[in-house]
Amino acid sequence: MSGAPWYFDCDTGIDDALTLGLLVAEGADLKGIGSVSGNLSAAGGARNTLDLMALMGRPDVPVAVGAHDPIGGVFGGGAEFVHGANGIGEVELPHVGEPVAESAAAMLVRLAHEHPGTLRVLAVGPLTNLALALELEPELPSLVADVVIMGGAALVPGNVSAVAEANIWNDPIAAQAVFDAAWPVTMVGLDVTMLARFEESHRTELAAGGAAPAALAAMLDVYFQYYTPILGRPSCALHDPLAAAIALGVVVPTLAPVAPVEVDTTDGPGRGQTLVDLRGRFVGYPAQPDVRHTVPLEIAEGFGDRLLESLLRLP
Amino acid sequence: MSGAPWYFDCDTGIDDALTLGLLVAEGADLKGIGSVSGNLSAAGGARNTLDLMALMGRPDVPVAVGAHDPIGGVFGGGAEFVHGANGIGEVELPHVGEPVAESAAAMLVRLAHEHPGTLRVLAVGPLTNLALALELEPELPSLVADVVIMGGAALVPGNVSAVAEANIWNDPIAAQAVFDAAWPVTMVGLDVTMLARFEESHRTELAAGGAAPAALAAMLDVYFQYYTPILGRPSCALHDPLAAAIALGVVVPTLAPVAPVEVDTTDGPGRGQTLVDLRGRFVGYPAQPDVRHTVPLEIAEGFGDRLLESLLRLP
C-alpha cells in the first residue's frame, strides 16, 4: 500500500519530525501535508514541516496550514515542555518555502476527489482538520481508503490525564466525528506507542548521519529530557512514527482487535478518553459486524532499530 | 488481621455466597453483615445471607437490610441473567432467622464506635451503605481500620460497559464518596478478579463436600452458564471471594500500586468508571504522598485451589 497517495496531518513536533523522516525515507507518495494546532500552533507546525521537508530533500510536497483552534474551543498553547518553544527542540532550520493558500481541510477534500478510493490519510495530531473536512464533504469517507491516527489509549493510562491521550484530549469532538464517520480507522494509541522506543544508542547513531538525521538527533535531546523521568532512562516513546510505520506496513501489530471506539466528550474526569470495547478479550476478540475501528494492542520489539535504519537513509 | 472485627457488606449473589463461605471457613470475626441492592434487592440479599450463614453454621451473625436504591437513583432490578432470579442460582435454602431492625448503615456506624480503630470493612456490592454511613457519622473514617471493596477496573475493560464495573456502575456517587473519605481503600477490581477462576474441576470437587459446599456448587451451575461464553470454557471469575481473600491476607497481590482513584459520575459514556492514575507505571509506580487508594493489578495463579480448600471445610 505504500504506492498509494497519502495525505498526512500533523502538528510538527519532534516525533512528527521523525515521522516525516520515516515517510520520506520509505518513499511514501505524499500528495499533501496539513498542519493542526497541538504540540504547537498550526502555523508553527506548518513552518517546521516545510523546513524539515526541504532538509529531507522534498520541498516539493505542498503544506497547508490547518485549524488553529479545536472544534468549539480555543487552542491551549501547545506542549513547550515536551517539544521546546519552537516545537522541534529549539533546533533552528533554514526557512524554506511557504504554505499553500488552501486550508488543510480543503486540501484533504481536494486530494480525496483527485484520488477517489485510494487516498490514505495518516493523522498524528488532534483530529480537527479531519472533522472539518468531513463537514466540508460529507461523502469524504467513501472517497478515502482508510484513516490511521496516532491517538487515544485503550488499556493503558493516558498522558494528559489518568485516561486521556493528548491528541484526543486536545479536540475530543473532532475525534468523535472521525470515529463516527463511515471509513476504517486504525487507532494507534498509547497501548503500543509507549512500547515503541528510541534509546540513547539510537540517538547517538542518528547524530552521526547526514544533515537531516543530525538535526533529528539534536531535537531528540529535548524530547529525551521530557521522557527520561517517565521511562526511567534516557529514551523516548515513538508515538507518531509508530502510527506511520503501521500505516505503511513497516510494523505489523501482533495483536490488533477490531472494536468500537467512543470518545468521552463530557467535561467529566474522563474527558478525552477513547473508550474501546474490548470485553471480548478472553475469547480472542470475536468479530463485531459493522465495526470499523482497529486498535493495535501489541507490537514486537525492535521498532527503534527499524526506524533508525530508515532515518539514516535521509540526506 | 483476621483476628480483627469485621463488617461485611454484600448483595448475595452467587460469588457473595462463596465469599460468605470463605469468611466463615477462615474464621473471620464477623460482627455484622449488611445487604445492599445490586445482584438483587437488598431485602433478597439479606434473605440469602441469613439462610447461607445458617447453612454454614453461623446463624448468630446479625444481618441488616441496607439501602434498596442507590444515592440519587432507583434500583435497576439486579442481574438475574448472572445470578438467577433468587440471586443464588435458583437453589432453595431453608429460611432461617430474620434481619435485625437497624439499617446496614446504622450497623456499620455502631460497630465502628464499638471497635474504634480496629473494625475492618469489606464491601462487595454497590457502596450505597458505606456512603450513607459516612453521612450518618462524618468521623467514620477515623473509626475504621480500613476498607476493602470489590469493584472497578483500572487497566482492563468493564463488565457493564466498555469501562464500568457493575458495583461502581450501580452507584457511582456512593463509590466516589467512599474513595473521597479519609480511610485507606483497597480496590479489588476486574484487573485481578477476572484472573481468579473457579474451573469445572473445582466445582465438581465442591459438589462432593458437605451441605454448604454442595449448595454452593449447585449455585455455580447458573454462574458458570453466564461466564462460559465470556471465558471460553466452563468456569467463572471469583470477584467477591478474591476481595475477601486479599482483605484476609489469604492472597497477597504480586503488584498493587498506591494510586488515586476517581469515579466518573457523569452521564457520559464513561459513567461508573474508576479512573486510576497509573501513569507512573514505567518507573515502578513511585509513592504518591497522601494517596490512600491501593489497586491490586496482578495476582499469582492458584486462588481457585485455595478457595476450594477453604470451602470444603464448611459443614
CB B120 within 8 A of CB B82: no
Confidence class of residue B151 from pLDDT cuts 50, 70 and 90? very high
Strand partners, A187: A149
Confidence class of residue B3 from pLDDT cuts 50, 70 and 90? confident
Confidence class of residue B75 from pLDDT cuts 50, 70 and 90? very high
Measure Cα distances from A105 to A111, A131, B107 in Å. 10, 8, 63
| Chain B residues whose beta carbon lies within 8 Å of the beta carbon of residue A270 | 163, 264, 266, 268-270, 273, 275
Cβ contact, residue pair A157, B155, below 8 Å: yes
- Sign of torsion over alpha carbons A226, A229, A235, A240: negative
Does the pLDDT value for residue B93 go beyond 70?
Answer: yes
What's the CA gap between B149 and B133, in Å, rounded? 15
Cβ contact, residue pair A262, B269, below 8 Å: yes
User: pLDDT 10s per residue in chain A (315 long)?
Assistant: 448 999 999 999 999 999 999 999 999 999 999 999 999 999 999 999 999 999 999 999 999 999 999 999 999 999 999 999 999 999 999 999 999 999 999 999 999 999 999 999 999 999 999 999 999 999 999 999 999 999 999 999 999 999 999 999 999 999 999 999 999 999 999 999 999 999 999 999 999 999 999 999 999 999 999 999 999 999 999 999 999 999 999 999 999 999 999 999 999 999 999 999 999 999 999 998 899 999 999 999 999 999 999 999 999
pLDDT (average), residues B141-160: 98
Nearest CA in chain B to A158: B279
Cβ contact, residue pair A268, B269, below 8 Å: no
Which helix (H) or strand (E) segment holds residue B110: the answer is helix B104-114
What's the CA gap between B76 and B36, in Å, rounded? 12
Does the pLDDT value for residue B156 go beyond 50?
Answer: yes
What's the CA gap between A275 and A260, in Å, rounded? 8
Q: Which of A239, A240, A264, A293 is catalytic?
A: A239
CB B158 within 8 A of CB B169: yes
Which helix (H) or strand (E) segment holds residue B119: the answer is strand B119-123
CA-based nearest distance B201→chain A, Å: 19
Q: Is A221 a catalytic residue?
A: no
Q: What is the CATH number of the domain that holds A118?
A: 3.90.245.10
Report chain A's C-alpha Rg in angstroms: 18
Which helix (H) or strand (E) segment holds residue B223: the answer is helix B211-231
Cβ contact, residue pair B229, A283, below 8 Å: yes
Which helix (H) or strand (E) segment holds residue A16: the answer is helix A14-25
**A-B contacts (CB, under 8 Å):** 96
What's the CA gap between B32 and B5, in Å, rounded? 9
What's the CA gap between B9 and B46, in Å, rounded? 10
Tabulate helix, strand, coil % of chain B (nearest 5). Answer: 40, 15, 45
Outline where DSSP puts E strands in chain A. Answer: 5-10, 29-35, 63-65, 119-123, 144-150, 185-188, 197-199, 235-237, 261-263, 274-276, 293-294
| Chain A residues whose beta carbon lies within 8 Å of the beta carbon of residue B235 | none
Residue A3 grid cell: 504506492
Cα–Cα nearest to B63, from B136, B134, B28, B11: B11
Measure Cα distances from A259 to A153, A230, A279, B190, B292 in Å. 13, 29, 9, 19, 34
Q: Give the one of B158, B268, B278 whose C-beta lies nearest to A268's C-beta.
A: B268
Count how many Cα atoms sit within 13 Å of the Cα of residue A22 in the half-sphere of its side chain.
Answer: 29
Cβ contact, residue pair B157, A155, below 8 Å: yes
The SS3 call for residue A297 is coil
Residue B104 grid cell: 446496614
Q: Is A3 exposed, middle or buried (0-12, 13-18, 19+ CB in 10 A)?
A: exposed
Total structural domains within chain A: 1
Q: In chain B, how many H helices and how many E strands?
A: 13, 11
Measure Cα distances from A58 to A14, A24, A45, A91, A314 in Å. 18, 8, 17, 19, 11
Cβ-based neighbour number of residue B114 at 10 Å: 13
Phi, psi of A33 (to 5 degrees): -130, 130
What's the CA gap between B214 and B283, in Å, rounded? 47
What's the CA gap between A37 and A10, in Å, rounded? 9
pLDDT (average), residues B3-11: 97
Q: Is B11 a catalytic residue?
A: yes
| Chain B residues whose beta carbon lies within 8 Å of the beta carbon of residue A231 | 282-283
Length of chain A: 315
- The predicted complex's ipTM stands at 0.94
pTM assigned to the model = 0.96
Phi, psi of A120 (to 5 degrees): -105, 140
| Chain B residues whose beta carbon lies within 8 Å of the beta carbon of residue A155 | 155-157
pLDDT at A1: 43
| pLDDT tens, residue by residue, B254-305 | 999 999 999 999 999 999 999 999 999 999 999 988 999 999 999 999 999 9
Cα–Cα nearest to B275, from A159, A270, A266: A270
Measure Cα distances from B237 to B39, B193, B232 in Å. 15, 6, 12
Phi, psi of B59 (to 5 degrees): -70, -5
| Chain B residues whose beta carbon lies within 8 Å of the beta carbon of residue A266 | 266-270
For A249-306, give the DSSP string.
TSS--SB--B--EEE--SSSTTTT-EEE--TTGGGT----TT--EE---B--S-HHHH
What's the CA gap between B78 and B88, in Å, rounded? 12
pLDDT at B1: 43
Residue B216 grid cell: 454452593
- Kindly give, in sequence order, each residue whose CB lies less than 8 Å from that of residue A102, ignoring residues fewer than 6 positions away: A64, A110
> For residue B287, what are the domain limits?
5-311
Length of chain B: 315
Residue A16 grid cell: 512528527
